[in-house]
């Protein structure tokens, strides 16, 4: 016994620290490996989510079913109907009467009705002016607006075509040509998949870790750890490191699948990605650990981590909905969640590249959050028992 103590006294402080770290890291790793659900979260979940987001969410529309009610048998009417038919955006089904089309619209068999009055061709011939009526199901406003845009495009193309054929003298007016930078075909997937990485890292960083310390308190193993020579810093590091690795694994896997399978462009550099995602991961881990250390009940820690971690990462991060169009109070609230900054970073990093003026402010805020949350977690992992 005395020899042991002497040996320990002779050991240098760093060596002691390393010895303690080896012990706690081994314990945490075993604990992760013992429950397959944590590994599944880091490996299976990213792949499942990538497929669902990659294929499931497209905010643009193709083959929109519409009914064409044409009371006009003239050549112009038939020609325009054919234009809609040929367009990849619409699949048309003929309806004999307006009443029939309305029933189809109400039953959601079609998304819109395109109506040509009986004097369409005649009016176009004589007055060079004829209206086309379009009725849309406005329930999905976003989709309705896209469909409106497609219909406008088809009609203006048709006007140009008629002009080229000399059927009409279209008066010159303003025309728009547009270019979409960084994402030339405006592919939703290129936008969704990078943002998704935020969600995966949030799941691992906040949800999983929120349970970790709370579980130790609930099961009483925390008290067992308190009587060991472990310091607070050792416990914190022992919790952070394994989950950090798990999170980075999930991130690496997601990026790999995104680039190879979904052909999402990656225009930034890997080094920057590693650096920035590490900072984000630390902010999430810090927050998760802080929650569980402060709450100490798994059930409540789980609920709060979902409500303040996961759901804001989905709704208040700009992952799906554009934050700049939300009311100002919501924009202010969104700034307290780390996910918002990382979504912005990942979009720029994937599609535009290492644009430091965009990345730097976000990185600074994330680093500040990481320090704050890890500091709070450190304070809350106290080595005292409540009396």
Partner 1 sequence: MKSLHRILALMIKEFAMILKDKKSRFIVIGPPLLQFFVFGYAATFDLKDVRYAVLDESRGTLSRQFVAGVEGSGHFDLVANLLSEYEIEDIITFETARLVIHIGPEFDRNLRSGIPAGVQVIADGRNPNVALIALGYLGAIVGQYNQTLVTQGIVNPGGPGVHLVERAWFNSNLQSRWFIVSALGGVISMVVVMLLTSLSVAREREFGTFDQLLVAPFTPGEILLGKSLPGMVFGLLDALLFSAGAVFWFGVPFRGTIAALVLALLCFIITMVGVGLLVSSLSMTMQQGLLGAFVFMMPAVILSGLISPTENMPHWLQMGNFINPVRYIIIALRNIFLQGADTAMIWPQIWPLLLIAGVALPSAAWLFRHRSQ
Q: Which is nearer to partner 1, 9 or 175 (CB)?
A: 175
Site for partner 1 in 64-103 (CB under 8 A): 80
For residue 306, the minimal CB distance to partner 1 (Å) is 6
- Distance linking the first and last C-alpha atoms of the chain: 33
User: Residue 105 CB, nearest distance to partner 1 (Å)?
Assistant: 7
- Is the CB of residue 121 less than 8 Å from the CB of residue 86? no
Per CB under 8 A, contacts with partner 1 among 208-237 are 208, 211, 215
In angstroms, the Cα distances linking 199 to 126, 267, 271, 306 are 59, 21, 21, 12
To partner 1, the closest distance from the beta carbon of 233 in angstroms equals 25
- CB nearer to partner 1: give 352 or 372: 352
Our finding on whether 193 is near partner 1 (CB under 8 A) is no
* C-beta contacts of 202-205 below 8 A and 24+ residues apart: 202/284, 202/309, 202/310, 202/313, 202/339, 203/41, 203/45, 203/310, 204/41, 204/42, 204/243, 204/246, 204/247, 204/250, 204/284, 205/243, 205/247, 205/280, 205/281, 205/283, 205/284, 205/285, 205/287, 205/288
Nearer to partner 1, 204 or 282 (CB): 204
Q: Which of 93, 103, 156, 278 binds partner 1 (CB under 8 A)?
A: 156
- Span near partner 1 by CB under 8 A; candidates 226-234, 236-244, 351-359, 370-378: 351-359
* Eight-state DSSP code of residue 201: H
109 binds partner 1 (CB under 8 A): no
Residue 129: alpha-carbon gap to chain centroid: 46
332 binds partner 1 (CB under 8 A): no
Residue 208 beta carbon to partner 1: minimum distance, rounded to whole angstroms: 7
Instruction: Find the binding residues for partner 1 in span 18-37 (CB under 8 A).
Output: 35, 37
**Which two three-digit tokens encode residue 155?**
């009609």
192 within 8 A of 199, measured Cβ to Cβ: no
16 or 146, CB closer to partner 1?
A: 146
* Least distance CB 191 / partner 1 (angstroms): 5
Nearer to partner 1, 194 or 286 (CB): 194
Q: Which stretch binds partner 1 (CB under 8 A): 146-154, 222-230, 255-263, 376-384?
A: 146-154
347 binds partner 1 (CB under 8 A): yes
- State which of positions 248-307 bind partner 1 (CB under 8 A): 295, 297-300, 302-304, 306-307
Please report whether residue 358 would count as binding partner 1 according to CB under 8 A. yes
The size of the interface with partner 1 (CB under 8 A), counted in residues, is 114
- Give the DSSP letter string of 6-54: HHHHHS-HHHHHHHHHHHHHHHHHHHHHHSHHHHHHHHHHHHHHHHHHH
One of 62, 231, 263, 379 touching partner 1 (CB under 8 A)? 62
Among 52, 82, 233, 364, binds partner 1 (CB under 8 A): 52
Options 5, 6, 88, 173; binder of partner 1; rule CB under 8 A: 173
Binders in 122-141 for partner 1, by CB under 8 A: 124, 128-141
Q: Which of 6, 9, 12, 324 binds partner 1 (CB under 8 A)?
A: 324
Q: Name beta bridge partners: 114.
A: 68, 134
**Sheet bearing 64-70, strands edge to edge:** 90-94, 64-70, 112-116
Task: Name the residue nearer to partner 1 (CB basis): 237 or 316.
Answer: 316
Place of tokens 């064409």: 68
State the DSSP code for 94.
E
Nearer to partner 1, 324 or 386 (CB): 324
């Amino acid at each position: 016994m005395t020899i042991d103590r002497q040996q320990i006294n002779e050991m240098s402080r760093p060596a002691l620290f390393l010895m303690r770290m080896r012990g706690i890291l081994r314990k945490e790793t075993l604990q992760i490996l013992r429950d397959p659900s944590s590994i599944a979260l880091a490996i299976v979940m990213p792949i499942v989510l990538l497929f669902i987001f990659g294929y499931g969410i497209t905010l643009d529309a193709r083959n929109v079913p519409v009914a064409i009610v044409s009371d006009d048998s003239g050549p112009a009417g038939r020609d325009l109907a054919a234009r809609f038919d040929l367009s990849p955006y619409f699949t048309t089904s003929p309806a004999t009467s307006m009443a029939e089309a309305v029933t189809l619209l109400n039953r959601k068999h079609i998304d819109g009705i395109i109506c040509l009055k009986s004097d369409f061709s005649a009016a176009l011939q004589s007055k060079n002016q004829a209206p086309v009526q379009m009725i849309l199901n406005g329930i999905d406003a976003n989709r309705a607006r896209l469909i409106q845009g497609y219909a406008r495009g088809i009609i203006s193309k048709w006007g140009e075509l008629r002009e080229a054929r000399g059927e009409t003298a279209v008066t010159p007016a303003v025309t728009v040509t547009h270019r979409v930078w960084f994402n030339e075909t405006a592919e939703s997937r290129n936008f969704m998949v990078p943002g998704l990485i935020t969600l995966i890292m949030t799941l691992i960083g906040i949800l999983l870790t929120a349970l970790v310390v709370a579980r130790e308190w609930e099961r009483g193993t925390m008290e067992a750890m308190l009587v060991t020579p472990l310091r607070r810093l050792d416990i914190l590091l022992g919790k952070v490191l394994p989950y950090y690795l798990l999170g980075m694994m999930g991130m690496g896997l997601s990026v790999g699948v995104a680039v190879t399978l979904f052909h999402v462009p990656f225009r930034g550099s890997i080094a920057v990605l590693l650096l920035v995602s590490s900072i984000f991961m630390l902010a999430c881990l810090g927050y998760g650990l802080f929650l569980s250390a402060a709450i100490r009940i798994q059930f409540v820690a789980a609920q709060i981590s979902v409500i303040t971690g996961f759901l804001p990462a989905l709704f208040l991060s700009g992952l799906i909905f554009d934050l700049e169009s939300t009311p100002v109070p919501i924009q202010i609230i969104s700034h307290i969640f780390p996910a918002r900054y990382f979504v912005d970073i990942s979009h720029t990093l994937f599609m535009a590249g290492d644009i430091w003026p965009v990345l730097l402010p976000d990185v600074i805020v994330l680093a500040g959050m990481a320090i704050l949350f890890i500091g709070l977690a450190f304070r809350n992992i106290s080595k005292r028992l409540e009396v």
